[in-house]
Structure 1
Amino acid sequence: MERAPLTLYELNALVRQALNEALPDTYWIQAELSDVRSNSSGHCYLEFVQKDARGNNLIAKARGTIWANVFRLLKPYFEESTGQAFVSGIKVLVQVSVEFHELYGYSLTVTDIDPTYTLGDMARKRREILKQLEEEGVLTLNKELEMPMLTQRIAVISSSTAAGYGDFCNQLLENPYGFVFYPHLFPALMQGNQVEESVISALNAVNSRRDDFDAVVIIRGGGATSDLSGFDTYLLAANCAQFPLPVITGIGHERDDTVIDSVAHTRVKTPTAAAQFLITHMHQAAVLLEEMAGTLTSSLTGRMEQERRRLTDLTSRLPLVVENRILREEYQIKQKMQQIYNGIIQILTRKQHRLLLLEQKVSDASPERVLKRGFSLTLKDGKVVTDSAQLRLGDTITTRLAKGEVISEVK
């Protein structure tokens, strides 16, 4: 016998009854949130999805509901515990009951949530980002930059209306040492879905003027802890890690470091702490400079005293030095004069000897000597006759002997 056909409502009622009987308890499930939205009544409607680990394709999906009386307690509890907004894209561990409604169909009603699971997933994502940066060789680049000794020109990335920005500037202005700082604001959104894009844009603006600044401060005063997820992204962390100026972060939380805290040069808790860090750094530089100035003054004083004693010693020794120098110079002059005298004597002796030799040669060649040896000179008109052709008959000639003369007539 054939059964009478069921209406759709009747079939759905059977499904509802079967599910209630088969799944009467609550169950803890792991899923990713999708399409999270709440209405004016305070109810939250969302979808739970599961993706294939390899292909990232959806393999399961279910509609979810968090009634207002649960959601107003569950949402702040989750966000305060995790520092993560209750938004699409995060993984959660929730306790649900299985519901089926004849009109609305299958859904999961959330009764509780375990934030530690999401914390673990967030920590895993942070570890994966940090590991990727390390593999790329950029993880510690910003930490390796040297903080300038005088860090006064500060590029500040913050919301222009944030109380933390005002606290930061006031702290710098009213520092007890009277140091002068020059903060310049580069506005950015510090909460919401646009944190990553906005802060990176501000970093690019600072980079275009990097010669005008000594360091970059990223601060966020107040705001919900759940808004910190925007600082846990790979792109923002990579920009901070590779930034050419030291990056100081003070984004207003104490429990966990975000990814950009892990790659920044210096991480502090709050904007006020960031200002105090800069003041302390300047104070340390001032103390060092004072110590160097004291050391230099002491060194100069000692050197001046040393040179004064040396000058006094030289002054006292100067007369003796001058006297010794004069004696040395006199001795050297006497030696030079004696050398000149001896040289002149030697030259004169050689010249005298040579003159004697020449005198002897001249004496030996003189006419008198020749005549004494028996020779004679024949003169005509006072001139020596060397050729008989010079004479004519009747010429008178004079013959000069060693002793006397003979006058003759040529025949």
Structure 2
Amino acid sequence: MSLFSTTSAEETGEPMAFTVAQLADRIKQVLNGAFDGELEVEGEIRNLGRARSGHMYFDLVEPPPATSIGKQPEASVSVALFKFNRARVEETLSRYGNMVMEDGMKVRIRGELDFWPPRGQLRVRMTGIDPRFTLGELEAERQRLLEKLRDEGLLTRNRAVPFPLAPLRIGLVTSNGSAAHRDFCEELEASGLAWEVVLVDTPVQGMDAPARIAAAIARAGRAGVDVIAVVRGGGARTDLVAFDDEAVARAIAAAPVPVLTGIGHEIDRTIADEVAHEAQKTPTACAGFVVTAARNHLVATEQAWNAITARTERLLDDSGLLLATVSRTTARAAEDRLRRAGNGLDGRAGRIRDLAQNRTRIEVRRVDTFAGTARHRAAAAVTHGRRTLEQARLTVATRARRTPAAATRDLANLEDRLRLLDPRVILARGWSITRHRGKVVRDPASLGVGEELITTLARGDLHSTVSENRP
């Protein structure tokens, strides 16, 4: 019976009978008649596999709506990209931003619809691809997400988080052992500063990368770090789609500390870059930004300490000059008081002497008439004069002694105040100053085990070595 003869079926009303090979051949002929030549199909790549033979196989699916998360695709067709066409397709993708086919990528492919009898499988034999469609889809999705994040105020939320003065504890979100991980850590080590890096390992490419990256950022935020660095090495534009994902953007915006990105691409900015506190071009540049921030804080601290030291030295110098000036002024004042007291004593003594002489002459003139009375009064006058003279002498002497004593007390008070400003007095109370390489140590975190220290005490210096560091 001929394959296309339907006489018996029409005459008898019985269904047509085929062998499996005949049915497969009939299906191929029907498909060839319905789909003459090449066609183009749009969809999302799933289950991508690369065979050792050089062929590539995947499913091209019609994904469910964004609101139907977790549901099966609405439609799916198998695609075969054979080795002789694969090289041409990969070269085309390479010319457009070094793109590489991977799961989750939206594509428009060109090929022929084919039925493969050995497996009874309907598939598309792929011969070409439109890279501009993929780039357009990526950019359209990117712009849609940017607008959504902007409307919710998430683009600037992380930038509003204050940047720490000394970001020495870093949460690093990247793939453990990757080039980005190595470059970032080498840049930190080269700075010579003391760092603590909390690594949160996560894949940075693939279907599950966005959710894993978002979870890693959240874990780093709970680890008590100063900043979070999200880094990845260079790659094709499609390799970076994980960093254009909404989950990653929301995780960065919600982070409790500033998030820095160092995603190795030079042309485009990812959504993660737009939402982050600071965006750098490479992992090395990202680490360099953190090093600069920490070093600026260290320099500012040293400058502040040097200013305090200089200010203290100026105050001590000024106090010394003031003390010398007060001492000279006090000495001159004491000399003046003594000189004035001496002059006053001489004047009083002269007046007393004149008074005594006058009284003596009066008594001499009256001695003849009142000899007994005059003698008695003369004796009384002499006695009174002596007492007055003695009292005057004692008064002058007392005042002369009090003046230098008061000056001496003032001088002693000034010396005591100066002594309180002397750093040696502070050291004598039990305080000490510890230095490392000539610089004062303020933070144990700045030292490593084995570092040599010099501690200045009231009576000398101690040399020691750090055996344990407990910030």
Query: Within 5 A, what are the aligned runs for 1:124-135?
Result: 124-135=140-151
Question: When the two structures are superposed, what TM-score results if normalisation uses the length of structure 2?
Answer: 0.55
1:269 alignment partner in structure 2: 281
SS in 2 for 1:185: strand
C-alpha displacement at 1:306, in angstroms?
Answer: 6.5
**1:271-350 paired onto structure 2 within 5 Å:** 271-293=283-305, 295-296=307-308
Matched residue, 1:231: 243
Q: Work out whether 1:71 is the aligned partner of 2:86.
A: yes
**In the superposition, relative to structure 1, how do residues 162 and 4 fare at CA in structure 2: closer, same or farther (>3 Å)?**
closer
Deviation at 1:83, TM superposition (A): 6.6
Partner amino acid for 2:158? Answer: N
Count of equivalent residues = 315
Deviation at residue 142 of structure 1 after TM alignment: 1.2
Higher relative contact order (CA 8 A, sep 6+): 1
Aligned to 1:407: none
Taking the aligned partners of 1:66 and 1:114, their CA distance within structure 2 comes to: 15
Change (3 A) 1:80 1:299: farther
8 Å Cα contact 2:163/2:258 also seen in 1: yes
- The answer to whether 1:254 aligns with 2:266 is yes
Deviation at 1:152, TM superposition (A): 1.0
**Partner of residue 5, structure 1:** 6
C-alpha separation in 1, matches of 2:309 and 2:263? 44
Give the equivalent residue in structure 2 for 1:201. Answer: 215
| Greater shift in the superposed pair: 219-228 or 135-144 | 219-228
After TM superposition, the structure 1 stretch with the greater mean CA deviation from structure 2, 313-322 or 197-206, is: 313-322
Deviation at 1:302, TM superposition (A): 6.0
Give, in whole Å, the separation in 2 of the partners of 1:86 and 1:290.
53
Match for 1:191 among 205, 213, 223?
205
1:161 correspondence with 2:177: yes
Deviation (angstroms), 1:80: 7.6
Q: Distance in 2 between matches of 1:5 and 1:107?
A: 29
Task: State whether residues 104 and 207 of structure 2, in contact with CA within 8 Å, keep that contact through their aligned partners in structure 1.
Answer: no
Alignment of 1:9-408 (within 5 A): 11-12=26-27, 14-15=29-30, 18-19=33-34, 23-24=36-37, 26=38, 28-50=40-62, 62-75=77-90, 77-78=92-93, 81=96, 85-94=100-109, 96-101=110-115, 103=117, 107-175=123-191, 178-210=192-224, 213-221=225-233, 226-293=238-305, 295-296=307-308
**1:84 CA drift (Å):** 5.9
Distance 1:58 1:147, change over 3 A: closer
Summarize deviations over 1:356-403 as a string: whole Å, max 9, x none: xxxxxxxxxxxxxxxxxxxxxxxxxxxxxxxxxxxxxxxxxxxxxxxx
Q: TM-score, normalised by structure 1?
A: 0.62
> In 2, distance between residues paired with 1:133 and 1:54?
17
Q: Is the 8 A contact 2:98 2:235 kept in 1?
A: no
Cα shift readout 1:258-294 (whole Å, capped 9, x = no counterpart): 2222211122232222221122222322333344445
Structure 1 stretch displaced more, 147-156 or 124-133:
124-133
Shift of 1:238: 0.6
8 Å CA contact retained: 1:92, 1:114:
yes
Q: Which sits farther off after the overlay, 240-249 or 105-114? A: 105-114
Answer whether contact 1:79 1:86 (CA < 8 A) is retained. Answer: no
Higher mean C-alpha deviation, range 236-245 or range 186-195: 186-195
Point out where structure 1 has 5 or more consecutive residues left out of the alignment. 324-411
Question: Contact conserved, 2:99 with 2:236, CA < 8 A, in 1?
Answer: no
Question: Which has the higher mean CA deviation after the structures are superposed, 139-148 or 98-107?
Answer: 98-107
Mapped partners of 2:138, 2:297: distance in 1: 39
Name the amino acid aligned to 1:78. Answer: L
**Residue type matched to 2:276 in 1?**
A
**Deviations along 1:177-214, whole A, 9 cap, x unmatched?**
x322222322222333332333333333323332xx21
1:401 aligned partner: none
Higher-Rg structure is: 1
Deviation by residue 1:74-112 (Cα, 9 ceiling, x = unmatched):
246537845765234332233x24444584686543322
Cα distance change, pair 106–227 in 1 and its aligned pair in 2 (3 A): same
User: Partners of 2:222 and 2:63 in 1: how far apart?
Assistant: 41
Contact kept in structure 1, 2:102 and 2:206, CA below 8 Å = no
Tell me: CA distance 1:304–1:128, structure 2 relative to 1, closer, same or farther (3 Å). farther
Judge conservation of contact 1:80–1:226 (CA < 8 Å) in 2.
no
Q: How large is the Cα RMSD of the aligned pairs?
A: 4.0
Q: Is the 8 A contact 1:83 1:227 kept in 2?
A: no
SS at match of 1:179: coil
Pair 169,13 (structure 1): closer, same or farther in 2 beyond 3 Å? closer
Which residue of the partner structure matches residue 408 of structure 1? none
Residue of structure 2 equivalent to 1:399? none
Q: C-alpha deviations, 1:46-77, integer Å up to 9, x for none?
A: 44445697998977765433221222442465
